[in-house]
A and B are shown apart, each in its own frame.
Chain A
Amino acid sequence: MTMTLTIKATLAAIAVTAASFGFTSDASAITEITLKDGTVLKGDIVREGDQFVILLDSTGIQKFVMRRDISTLVRDAEDTPVAADNANATDTGPVTQRGKKEDVQIPAGATRIAFVSLHESVGSYFNTDALERSVDLLKALPEEERPEVLVLEIDSGGGALIEQHKIIAYIRDHVEPEFRTVAWIESAISAAAMTAWVVDEVYMMRKAPIGGCTGYYMTQSGAVAMEGAELEEELVWMERVSTWGKKEPLVMRAMQIYSTLSADINPDGSVTWYPNDQGEYMISPENEVLTLNAHEAKKFGIAQGIADTKDQLAQALGCVEWVEVGQDADEMMVEFRANVKEAELEMSTLFREMNIALQAMMGTPEVRNKKRHFGTAKNKYQQIQVWAKRKAPSLMTYGQFNQNFFDVYDERFEQWAEQLAGL
């Protein structure tokens, strides 16, 4: 049974908080943060919580800083430096995004569970950096509020294979040693399924699929499956991940490539797998790629159970009494995805407008107008850069507006500027 959370909104704190900080910082209030290693960071605080501060520096890059790493924090030139460790006491109170102080009562004996959602495309929306920031928040919680169980709630159709490598390594090295980690699947396809594979404990929602992990890329003539050494590396990597996640490697292999797979369920409930059709149950025929439904995943031991709600999941995990903690960690993840989405839309619009200005620049014979259009285009381009850096750095790695895009356009704008200067 879920324990009821008592959320005490401290009205006084809200009032002070609202007056002092609000949701976003005043643009004129430059904050200076000195880290314990001596590093000094300056910028606007765009968000802060009990355990963290996000600072936007003058280059437009967001810096995520844990309070525990801060030596002093000066909100503006007239502020007295505040020791970060006791910032909550001397500051105007911990500020969450909602501008309220949350006091979570955790009953003795209740298992503390945190849920962090990993949704949408692996890479730009579902990535190691974002997960790391969320996990850091959880790690920084006081011992009595720190989750014992971290549930990674996965709903994704896949994405970048390269990000999958990073996030798997991060989960294995930095998440699983700290928390009992559970993958809770709403949908895990391709790179998302591979990510879930490293987690020992997998639970499925009833409608969840897991699988379809064939690596491929699109060309003008259609989809091309990964092959050769690249494929071999991926197969070997996932064999290793299967071992880490205590899963049968043949199952992942059948999800990646054509690979006949059948199984027997032994009297003791264990499963014997066959890389052929020898088993009683045909899991994946010769010329198919495997995706398991929830029922199959449980039946053949890939998932430990099926749960549609948090409460059902907690019961399945053996947590008779449990309490949800660390909601900030998921709120940050949700906000991160919203930022990426907003940035994607804005950047697409700006790109379109930039191209119109460039077309106009090329189409007009008058130098004065050419320069004017160039100015408009450059302005739009710079706005794209700001959006990418400020709101969605992940798009610079995985999206259309990646580093290569900026490299190409940096060069082009330089050339256009030179040509216009010569007219």
Chain B
Amino acid sequence: MLKRLMQVSPLVAMIAIGCTWVPSPVVSQAVAASEGDEESMESIDELVLSSGTVVRGKIIEETETEIVFELRMPGFPPIERRYRKAEVAKITRDVDRVERADIVHDPVKADKGKDKDNDNPFVNNDDPDAAQIYRIRLSGRFGYNVTHTPVQELIDDINRVFDDAKESNVEGGPATVVDDEVRDKHIVLLEIDCTPGGGFDGLWNSIEFINLFEQEIHDRGRRVVMLVNQAVDGSAFLPWISKEIYFLEGGIMGISSDLHLFDIGDPMVNEKQISLRLGHAQGYAILGGYVEQGPAIIKAMARSTYWLSVLWTGATPRVSLREPTSADLAAGWELLSDDGLDENDDDMQQGVRNPNDQFVLRDDTAFRLKVSQGTVSNAEEILFLLGVHRNANYVEHEGNQIFADWNKALATFTEKAFPGSQRQRPGELWRDYGRIQVAGDFNDRRKARGRQLQILKQIRSITQRVAEAVDPDGGLINEIEFNIYVIQYQQRLDNENR
């Protein structure tokens, strides 16, 4: 032990000196330090990229312009990558020794480390202190593949799996909340990887179930970590309600439509509509605690005519929606997106490399803007950042099955009950319905109508199951009900005239 302490003492000193440096925001899922003999361990190097990503492995070669790096991840063979020096913010050699030194230096951590039989976060262990991770990926289109019903079922399942409810009387009356004792360890890891749908107004299709997550996080006190891969349109608003957002490498958040083009008539009425939409959307950013930068970012994401510039200073960068002056730029303000008008219109610029009319929040900028707490190359890396990489379990759950069932019900609707459009033929049941001829004698007509009613009721049942996705305004169900009523009415007349 003495030898060990002597060996690590210079490293401990390094940590102290390094206190002013911001801790690694992102850690590639590198080699988890085991409690083996450090003499036999190979040293691990760490690169902090300017995007916020931290990768660990071994520096193979370093030139003036480039680092050749062997990226290491548990369970995978080493991968060789080349990083331009310009994209590397910090290099730390032998970082793993630093970590181990830290553990040894901290008796609590050291003891915990010794007690652990299993350091691998990907293998379930029986340690009651292990963090429990409920990992779920939301994919498809918000408002269609992700809607109120499956989200409610998901939240019910989360609470069933964690089984950590406690009655509380703290905030204005009795309430059920997550037990304080386990709150930090019971983590929902929500990966958002959704396709565009509805443009900005995808928000309206999503409000109801975003509110469900909001209640779970803010009323119940559930820890939900958002992992953004592709959060577009309705799904672009969800991550903001959590104070813990991470981006996958290459992850983006944005709006596929431009509110500037919103048009229902009078320009001033359009402005009213744009303004109230932005007011609603900004609320999510404030709710999640992104008060200083969030509202401006959301505005710039939603409307191309907003400028967005930033001054990288202080704990939270300062953002502005006005056009930066020469003096601003000289003072260090950086332009993130312009107003897209006239000569700033990306479409007017031949070969424009970085379109910037409508702001898209990308992994690196999200991190620098303090929206994202870091960029990871896969979901597992987050465990490092959450500080649970040495002792965590993925819990078994029904979440994936819930969404699989929902998507199956959607597929059934498409196959059987979709009423048809210019681009897509009607579902099987509508085609059957269309083939029925009400003709012949009374009995023939009665039978035909009976068959019609049977099919319509089947269609209604299939549609109702997924109505919030396929018929949110109730128009289709209304039409089916109308048809049913008309057929019944006609049959009544037929009976009377018989």
Chain A: residues with CB nearer than 8 A to chain B?
2, 4, 157, 187, 189-190, 206-214, 216, 218-219, 221-225, 257-258, 282, 287-296, 308-312, 314, 324, 349, 352-353, 356-357, 360, 369, 372
In chain B, what residue has the closest Cβ to A322? Answer: B172
Given A207-B283, A292-B279, A294-B283, verify A216-B269 contact (CB < 8 Å): yes
Closest 9 CB pairs of A and B: A222-B265, A209-B279, A207-B283, A223-B265, A291-B279, A311-B172, A212-B276, A214-B272, A310-B172
Q: Which residues of A contact B270 (CB under 8 A)?
A: 223
B79 → chain A closest CB, angstroms: 43
Question: Cβ of B408 < 8 Å from any Cβ of A?
Answer: no
Q: Which residues of A contact B424 (CB under 8 A)?
A: none
Contact of B279 among A210, A219, A349, A352 (CB under 8 A): A210
Given A206-B286, A216-B266, A310-B172, verify A287-B279 contact (CB < 8 Å): no
Question: Cβ of B485 < 8 Å from any Cβ of A?
Answer: yes
A136 → chain B closest CB, angstroms: 26
Question: Cβ of B268 < 8 Å from any Cβ of A?
Answer: yes
List 30 interface pairs A-B (beta carbons < 8 Å), by A numbering.
A2-B171, A2-B172, A189-B276, A190-B276, A207-B214, A209-B279, A211-B276, A212-B273, A214-B271, A216-B266, A216-B272, A218-B265, A221-B265, A223-B269, A224-B266, A225-B268, A288-B271, A289-B268, A291-B276, A293-B283, A293-B295, A296-B295, A308-B218, A309-B172, A310-B172, A311-B170, A352-B481, A356-B486, A357-B489, A360-B493
Query: Please, how many angstroms separate the alpha-carbon atoms of A308 and B218 in the complex?
Result: 9
Could you list 12 further interchain pairs (A-B, Cβ under 8 angstroms) beyond the known A212-B275, A288-B274?
Answer: A157-B276, A208-B283, A224-B265, A257-B268, A289-B268, A289-B275, A291-B278, A293-B279, A295-B291, A352-B485, A353-B485, A369-B497
| Contact (Cβ within 8 A) B482 A352 | yes
Q: How many A-B residue pairs have CB under 8 A?
A: 125
Query: Please, how many angstroms separate the alpha-carbon atoms of A2 and B168 in the complex?
Result: 12
Contact of A214 among B170, B268, B486 (CB under 8 A): B268
Q: Produce 1/0 per residue, B276-305, CB < 8 A to A.
A: 101110111011000100010000000000
A153 → chain B closest CB, angstroms: 13
Query: Please, how many angstroms separate the alpha-carbon atoms of A353 and B173 in the complex?
Result: 47
Question: Cβ of B264 < 8 Å from any Cβ of A?
Answer: yes
A335 → chain B closest CB, angstroms: 21
| Contact (Cβ within 8 A) B286 A290 | no
Q: Produce 1/0 per residue, B316-352, CB < 8 A to A.
A: 0000011000000000000000000000000000000
Q: Which residues of B contact A4 (CB under 8 A)?
A: 169
Q: Which residues of B contact A216 (CB under 8 A)?
A: 266, 268-269, 272
B472 → chain A closest CB, angstroms: 16
Query: Please, how many angstroms separate the alpha-carbon atoms of A187 and B279 in the complex?
Result: 9
B275 → chain A closest CB, angstroms: 4
| Contact (Cβ within 8 A) A207 B486 | no
Contact of B275 among A187, A221, A290, A352 (CB under 8 A): A290
| Contact (Cβ within 8 A) A258 B489 | no
Centre residue among B267, B276, B280, B497 by max chain A CB count within 10 A: B276
Given A282-B322, A295-B295, A308-B218, verify A314-B275 contact (CB < 8 Å): no
B306 → chain A closest CB, angstroms: 10
Query: Please, how many angstroms separate the alpha-carbon atoms of A225 and B485 in the complex?
Result: 40
Task: Name A's interface SS.
Answer: mixed
Query: Please, how many angstroms separate the alpha-carbon atoms of A185 and B282 in the complex?
Result: 15
Q: Which residues of B contact A310 (CB under 8 A)?
A: 171-173
Centre residue among B265, B273, B274, B478 by max chain A CB count within 10 A: B265
Query: Please, how many angstroms separate the alpha-carbon atoms of A313 and B270 in the complex?
Result: 34
B304 → chain A closest CB, angstroms: 14
Q: Which residues of B contact A218 (CB under 8 A)?
A: 265
B477 → chain A closest CB, angstroms: 11
Question: Cβ of B441 < 8 Å from any Cβ of A?
Answer: no
Given A212-B279, A289-B275, A293-B295, verify A207-B286 contact (CB < 8 Å): yes
Query: Please, how many angstroms separate the alpha-carbon atoms of A312 and B265 in the complex?
Result: 42
Q: Which residues of B contact A210 (CB under 8 A)?
A: 279
Query: Please, how many angstroms separate the alpha-carbon atoms of A190 and B266 in the complex?
Result: 16
Query: Please, how many angstroms separate the alpha-carbon atoms of A214 and B274 in the complex?
Result: 12
Q: Which residues of B contact A309 (CB under 8 A)?
A: 171-172
A104 → chain B closest CB, angstroms: 13
In chain B, what residue has the closest Cβ to A224? Answer: B266
Q: Which residues of A contact B481 (CB under 8 A)?
A: 349, 352
Query: Please, how many angstroms separate the alpha-carbon atoms of A225 and B266 in the complex?
Result: 6
Q: Which residues of B contact A225 (CB under 8 A)?
A: 266, 268-269
Q: Which residues of B contact A190 (CB under 8 A)?
A: 272, 276
| Contact (Cβ within 8 A) B271 A289 | yes
Centre residue among A206, A207, A213, A258 by max chain B CB count within 10 A: A207
Question: Cβ of B396 < 8 Å from any Cβ of A?
Answer: no
Query: Please, how many angstroms separate the alpha-carbon atoms of A222 and B280 in the complex?
Result: 23
Question: Cβ of B473 < 8 Å from any Cβ of A?
Answer: no
CB contact list, B40-88 vs A, under 8 A:
none
Query: Please, how many angstroms separate the alpha-carbon atoms of A2 and B497 in the complex?
Result: 70
Q: Which residues of B contact A288 (CB under 8 A)?
A: 271, 274-275
Centre residue among B169, B172, B272, B496 by max chain A CB count within 10 A: B272
Contact of A293 among B218, B282, B321 (CB under 8 A): B282
Q: Which residues of B contact A349 (CB under 8 A)?
A: 481
Q: Which residues of B contact A357 (CB under 8 A)?
A: 489
Q: Which residues of B contact A287 (CB under 8 A)?
A: 267, 271
CB contact list, B451-498 vs A, under 8 A:
478, 481-482, 485-486, 489, 493, 496-497
Query: Please, how many angstroms separate the alpha-carbon atoms of A353 and B283 in the complex?
Result: 43
B278 → chain A closest CB, angstroms: 7
| Contact (Cβ within 8 A) A189 B279 | yes
Query: Please, how many angstroms separate the alpha-carbon atoms of A293 and B287 in the complex?
Result: 11
